[in-house]
Copies of this chain bind each other. A is one copy, B any other.
Amino acid sequence: MKFETSCIRAEADHVQILRCKEDLNAVSTSIEAISKIMALAGNEVRFKILFLLQRETELCPCDFADILEMSVPAISQHLRKMRDVNVISTRREGQTIFYSISKENEAFLTSILSNIESERKIA
Which A positions have Cβ atoms within 8 angstroms of B? 1, 3, 5-7, 9, 11-12, 16-17, 20-21, 23-24, 26-27, 29-36, 38-44, 47-48, 51-52, 55-56, 59-63, 65-72, 96, 108, 111-112, 115-117, 120-123
Contacts and interface: CB of A to CB of B under 8 A. Distances in A.
Contacts of A59: 20
Given A39-B43, A42-B42, A48-B24, A115 B34 contact: yes
A34 B47 contact: yes
6 contacts: A11-B96, A12-B66, A24-B48, A32-B44, A34-B120, A40-B42
Contact of A120 (B33, B39, B62): B33
Given A55-B20, A65-B6, A35 B42 contact: yes
Nearest to A17: B66
A106 B6 CA distance: 28
Nearest to A14: B66
Contacts of A1: 71
Given A6-B62, A48-B24, A67-B21, A29 B96 contact: no
